[in-house]
A and B are shown apart, each in its own frame.
Chain A
């Protein structure tokens, strides 16, 4: 019974394509997040979202857009993929008033 799950685990695609990564949490949390771990291994926040508000890190290109069909899901859509988008993307969730964030296993994206 995985708490935070992501699909796919690996994604290899060509430059210019559009792709989506799915995330689901069964913890009953109110807030979900997307992080990017780049080649230097830093984990950086991209978005946070609860049922009221989407907060975007200002450094994230508008080619990236989160979509939340319901409280348990936050999918990441990426348009016009670029080489520099190659990274590991982690989804996470937390209680709205909570402190600890719980992470999914990551999606390894490689753009060729």
Chain B
């Protein structure tokens, strides 16, 4: 039962353009959402997060949008750079729930083309 879904296994974007990564969730109890970036043979690196009381959070080139009614969030990267090529994981949590862990999507492999 996948509670966090990233339906695009991969995405190819030209350098300098905008990259948009999407994520859908099913559990309405999720109240905090995060994006992680992962290079091969490394651990996930925290990028940006958003609380369910907000609909947008921006940090430099990264912006996360949350649409609670649609149970959808997206990560925008602009402009895309070669170093952005990695696997991006969407994650969510329920405050005080279970092992207080994050529920992850399966990831989207972003490829930035020169």
Contact = CB atoms under 8 A, between A and B. Distances in A.
B101 A33 contact: yes
**Dominant SS among interface residues on chain A:** strand
B102 A104 contact: no
B53 interface: no
A57 B32 contact: no
Given A90-B43, A100-B34, A104-B43, A41 B106 contact: yes
Interface residues of B, number: 23
B47 to A, nearest CB: 9
B30 interface: no
A75 interface: no
B88 to A, nearest CB: 13
A52 interface: no
B102 A56 contact: no
A92 B104 CA distance: 14
Contact of B41 (A92, A102, A103, A105): A105
Interface string A70-112: 0000000000000000000010100000011111111000000
A45 B99 CA distance: 7
Contacts of B98: 45, 55, 57
Given A102-B46, A105-B42, A31 B99 contact: no
Given A55-B98, A99-B49, A106-B41, 12 more contacts: A42-B106, A43-B102, A45-B99, A48-B99, A56-B99, A57-B99, A92-B43, A100-B46, A101-B34, A102-B46, A103-B36, A105-B43
